[in-house]
Amino acid sequence: MKQPKILAFVMAGGEGARLSPLTAYNSKPSLPFGSRYRIVDFVLSNLLNSGIQSIYMLVQYKSQSLIEHVRKAWVVSPMRNEEFVTVVPPQMMRGGDWFQGTADAVYQNINLIQLHNPDLVVVFGADHIYRMDLQQMVDFHLEREADATVAALPVPIADASSFGVIDADHAGRVSDFKEKPANPPSMPSDPTRSYASMGNYLFNAKVLVQALKEANERGEHDFGHHVLPKLKDTHRVFAYDFATNKVPGTKPYEEPAYWRDVGTRDAYFNAHQDLLGETPRFDMFNPQWRIFSSNYQGPVARLMDAKIYNSVIAAGSMVRQATIVNTIIRREVTIEDDVEIEDCLIQDYVHIKRGARLRRAIIGGYNVIEAGTRIGYDLEQDRKLYESDPGWYYGGRAGRSHFGHAGV
């Protein structure tokens, strides 16, 4: 069977207000993740690994660092016109408004669909941590002769009220969408679980174009709230069970169907903890399904009589006589003598001076932590100095503001 022509839109306009102050100067998809990645690298890697290479990234809030990252890290093929990752800010081609919602963002760029004339259009979010073979979702879509398919994550029914929930039959045909329902419908195959929408969609191109035009006429701007609930009444809309997706190279000890929305500070921190350990829930080392990012040209990390336990130290970092436990250190971090760091995320280009003590803290890039600083040991004192709430301290950008967020 001839493979369909696929065009992808990556929705990377998220402001990430719940991640403040980490998003004070960056959009959510551009935030660092792990030792060398950004959050947006996950969706882009999934698309390319799945053979989908025509990608438009729609940006909006605080997008400059994201644009620079894509420019440097995501040059796919300068020789083949159909292989690209192109950033598209709001063009105001259909009025003077910024993107009003997910559907409106694609509608404002409907000319790109008409330009490429694809068979299928993928619309995926840019702010989740996961691996996914999209070709399996495409096969599901084609086998069922669907007009639209929504990626669905099975979640415990007790937790489903926090999500947009999909009601579907045994074949996956969607009968209803419910936003954070008090009594979530269960999956047909498992009465203990519900289908939660992942906000990732696959459309027949002609159906999508028509649906976007009709939604715009009604003044509706969102896929999950407007377009798909109406489309299910007139077209074949299906839920694709993400738990059935099999990614090559996944280890037996990894969490099956790992997917995290890192939209809050707790979720962001906890997802980092999932990378640690001898048998992590989400193992970043998978040669069969790589997560791509920038080609950093700096030196390897240097450890000088340091004590490191269950931690990751990125390239270019210098660690002297320090103790580091359950922590991710990103690139070109300098850590001086007699420093103790436990359960922390230290972002790029931080300098932690002699004798500092950090516990359950996220330290933003370019910070200088002065000698003898203690964060995470006296919540009341820390509240006077840093932006914090019970459980965390957040460190911000040096020279602008000095946040902190650490646990008791």
Domain positions in the chain are 6-244, 302-395
**How large is the average pLDDT for residues 378-382?**
77
According to the model, what pLDDT value does residue 167 have?
96
According to the model, what pLDDT value does residue 52 have?
97
Q: What's the 3-state SS for 317-330?
A: CEECCCEEECCEEC
What would the pLDDT profile of 251-286 be if each residue is shown by its tens digit? 999 999 999 999 888 999 999 999 999 999 999 999
Q: Which two tokens stand for residue 213?
A: 């035009």
Greater pLDDT, 83 or 14: 83
Per CATH, domain 302-395 is 2.160.10.10: yes
Distance CA 167, CA 153 (A): 12
The mean pLDDT value of the chain amounts to 90
According to the model, what pLDDT value does residue 110 have?
94
Q: Dihedral of the CA atoms 368, 312, 67, 27 (nearest 10)?
A: -70
Look-up of token digits 């990125």: 314
Greater pLDDT, 24 or 287: 287
Residue 116 has pLDDT above 70, yes or no: yes
Residue 359 near residue 405, CB atoms below 8 Å: no
Strand 302-303 and strand 54-59: pairing?
unpaired
**How large is the average pLDDT for residues 72-88?**
86
**How large is the average pLDDT for residues 371-383?**
85
Where does the pLDDT of residue 315 fall: very low under 50, low under 70, confident under 90, or very high at 90 and above?
very high
What would the pLDDT profile of 391-406 be if each residue is shown by its tens digit? 445 554 433 333 343 3
Contacts of 244 (CB under 8 A, 6+ apart): 136
Distance CA 109, CA 138 (A): 23
Short-list 165, 152, 140, CA closest to 236: 140
Residue 329 near residue 343, CB atoms below 8 Å: no
Count CB atoms within 10 A of the CB of residue 78: 8
Percent of the chain with pLDDT over 70: 92
- State the CATH class of domain 6-244: alpha beta
The answer to pTM > 0.85 is yes
What would the pLDDT profile of 27-76 be if each residue is shown by its tens digit? 899 999 999 999 999 999 999 999 999 999 999 888 888 999 999 999 88
Amino acid occupying residue 78: P
